[in-house]
Amino acid sequence: MTFDSESAPDGASPARRIADSESPVAAGTARRVVDERTFSSAVGWTVLGTLIPGLGLWRSGRRVLGGLIMGAILVAIGGLAALYVTNQRMVQQAVITPDVLDVYKRQVECLEILEIEYGKGRGSESAV
Protein backbone atom coordinates (compact mmCIF):
# COMPACT_ATOMS: atom_id res chain seq x y z
CA MET A 1 0.00 0.00 0.00
CA THR A 2 1.18 3.51 -0.78
CA PHE A 3 -0.17 6.80 0.38
CA ASP A 4 -1.61 9.53 -1.81
CA SER A 5 0.88 12.34 -1.20
CA GLU A 6 -1.09 14.92 -3.15
CA SER A 7 -3.92 14.94 -0.62
CA ALA A 8 -1.65 15.65 2.40
CA PRO A 9 -0.98 19.41 2.73
CA ASP A 10 2.40 20.60 4.13
CA GLY A 11 3.71 17.22 5.21
CA ALA A 12 0.59 16.28 7.23
CA SER A 13 -0.24 12.62 7.61
CA PRO A 14 -1.91 11.23 4.54
CA ALA A 15 -5.68 10.82 4.63
CA ARG A 16 -6.03 7.67 2.57
CA ARG A 17 -4.15 4.71 1.18
CA ILE A 18 -4.01 3.65 -2.43
CA ALA A 19 -3.50 0.01 -3.39
CA ASP A 20 -0.14 -0.80 -5.01
CA SER A 21 -0.16 -2.20 -8.50
CA GLU A 22 1.83 -5.14 -7.14
CA SER A 23 -1.03 -6.22 -4.92
CA PRO A 24 -1.04 -9.98 -4.28
CA VAL A 25 -4.76 -10.23 -5.01
CA ALA A 26 -5.40 -9.99 -8.74
CA ALA A 27 -8.49 -8.27 -10.05
CA GLY A 28 -11.56 -10.46 -9.97
CA THR A 29 -10.25 -12.89 -7.34
CA ALA A 30 -11.52 -11.02 -4.30
CA ARG A 31 -12.20 -13.14 -1.29
CA ARG A 32 -15.89 -13.80 -0.76
CA VAL A 33 -17.26 -13.20 2.70
CA VAL A 34 -19.71 -15.88 3.76
CA ASP A 35 -22.45 -14.60 6.03
CA GLU A 36 -24.22 -17.21 8.13
CA ARG A 37 -27.19 -14.88 8.76
CA THR A 38 -29.82 -16.03 6.32
CA PHE A 39 -33.47 -15.01 6.14
CA SER A 40 -34.64 -18.31 7.61
CA SER A 41 -32.17 -17.90 10.46
CA ALA A 42 -33.53 -14.42 11.18
CA VAL A 43 -37.10 -15.72 11.16
CA GLY A 44 -36.17 -18.57 13.48
CA TRP A 45 -34.43 -16.30 15.98
CA THR A 46 -37.37 -13.87 15.83
CA VAL A 47 -39.85 -16.64 16.65
CA LEU A 48 -37.66 -17.96 19.46
CA GLY A 49 -37.16 -14.43 20.79
CA THR A 50 -40.92 -14.00 20.89
CA LEU A 51 -41.40 -17.22 22.82
CA ILE A 52 -38.43 -16.74 25.18
CA PRO A 53 -38.16 -13.19 26.59
CA GLY A 54 -34.54 -12.01 26.73
CA LEU A 55 -33.27 -14.27 23.94
CA GLY A 56 -33.04 -11.39 21.48
CA LEU A 57 -30.83 -9.44 23.90
CA TRP A 58 -28.67 -12.51 24.44
CA ARG A 59 -28.34 -13.10 20.70
CA SER A 60 -27.44 -9.47 19.98
CA GLY A 61 -24.50 -9.54 22.38
CA ARG A 62 -26.08 -8.27 25.58
CA ARG A 63 -25.63 -11.63 27.21
CA VAL A 64 -25.76 -10.49 30.84
CA LEU A 65 -29.04 -8.58 30.49
CA GLY A 66 -30.57 -11.27 28.28
CA GLY A 67 -29.49 -13.97 30.72
CA LEU A 68 -30.97 -12.06 33.66
CA ILE A 69 -34.31 -11.66 31.90
CA MET A 70 -34.39 -15.30 30.80
CA GLY A 71 -33.44 -16.38 34.33
CA ALA A 72 -36.15 -14.24 35.90
CA ILE A 73 -38.78 -15.64 33.54
CA LEU A 74 -37.57 -19.18 34.21
CA VAL A 75 -37.76 -18.64 37.99
CA ALA A 76 -41.26 -17.15 37.69
CA ILE A 77 -42.54 -20.03 35.54
CA GLY A 78 -40.89 -22.56 37.85
CA GLY A 79 -42.42 -20.91 40.89
CA LEU A 80 -45.89 -20.89 39.35
CA ALA A 81 -45.52 -24.53 38.33
CA ALA A 82 -44.39 -25.50 41.84
CA LEU A 83 -47.29 -23.56 43.35
CA TYR A 84 -49.73 -25.33 41.05
CA VAL A 85 -48.30 -28.77 41.81
CA THR A 86 -48.34 -28.25 45.57
CA ASN A 87 -51.59 -26.29 45.93
CA GLN A 88 -53.87 -27.06 42.99
CA ARG A 89 -57.05 -26.26 44.88
CA MET A 90 -55.77 -22.82 45.98
CA VAL A 91 -54.65 -21.92 42.44
CA GLN A 92 -57.98 -23.02 40.95
CA GLN A 93 -59.92 -21.01 43.53
CA ALA A 94 -57.77 -17.94 42.85
CA VAL A 95 -58.20 -18.21 39.09
CA ILE A 96 -61.85 -19.25 38.97
CA THR A 97 -63.56 -16.65 41.16
CA PRO A 98 -66.47 -14.43 40.12
CA ASP A 99 -64.21 -11.35 40.12
CA VAL A 100 -61.63 -12.93 37.86
CA LEU A 101 -64.31 -14.33 35.54
CA ASP A 102 -65.86 -10.85 35.33
CA VAL A 103 -62.48 -9.45 34.23
CA TYR A 104 -62.25 -12.16 31.55
CA LYS A 105 -65.76 -11.26 30.37
CA ARG A 106 -64.86 -7.56 30.09
CA GLN A 107 -61.70 -8.36 28.15
CA VAL A 108 -63.68 -10.43 25.65
CA GLU A 109 -66.20 -7.62 25.27
CA CYS A 110 -63.41 -5.11 24.61
CA LEU A 111 -61.88 -7.40 21.99
CA GLU A 112 -65.26 -7.74 20.29
CA ILE A 113 -65.66 -3.95 20.20
CA LEU A 114 -62.16 -3.54 18.74
CA GLU A 115 -62.89 -6.17 16.11
CA ILE A 116 -66.08 -4.37 15.11
CA GLU A 117 -64.39 -0.94 15.02
CA TYR A 118 -61.07 -1.87 13.41
CA GLY A 119 -61.55 -5.32 12.02
CA LYS A 120 -64.10 -6.69 9.61
CA GLY A 121 -66.46 -3.71 9.61
CA ARG A 122 -63.81 -1.13 8.72
CA GLY A 123 -64.51 0.65 5.49
CA SER A 124 -67.81 -1.08 4.83
CA GLU A 125 -71.28 -0.35 6.09
CA SER A 126 -72.28 -3.65 7.63
CA ALA A 127 -75.18 -4.09 10.00
CA VAL A 128 -74.17 -5.25 13.44
pLDDT digits over 95-108, tens only?
788 888 888 889 89
Residue 72 predicted with pLDDT over 90: yes
Task: Name the amino acid, one letter, at 51.
Answer: L
Determine, yes or no, domain membership for 69: yes
* Domains: count for the chain: 2
State the maximum Cα–Cα separation within the chain, in Å, rounded to a whole number: 86
Facing residues of 18 across strands?
A: 2
Determine, yes or no, domain membership for 65: yes
In order of 23, 24, 25, 32, 74, the CA distances from 29 in angstroms are 12, 10, 7, 9, 50
Give the pLDDT confidence score for residue 67 in this predicted structure. 93
Domain that holds residue 43: 37-86
Determine, yes or no, domain membership for 16: no
How many angstroms separate the CA atoms of 125 and 109, rounded? 21
| Same domain membership, residue 96 and residue 76 | no
| Same domain membership, residue 69 and residue 105 | no
Q: Do 16 and 7 touch, CB atoms closer than 8 A?
A: yes
Q: Do 55 and 65 touch, CB atoms closer than 8 A?
A: no
Give the pLDDT confidence score for residue 114 in this predicted structure. 85
Please name the residue ranges forming H helices in 35-86: 39-51, 55-59, 63-86
| Same domain membership, residue 96 and residue 79 | no
| Same domain membership, residue 68 and residue 45 | yes
Question: pTM of the prediction?
Answer: 0.47
Determine, yes or no, domain membership for 51: yes
Determine, yes or no, domain membership for 9: no
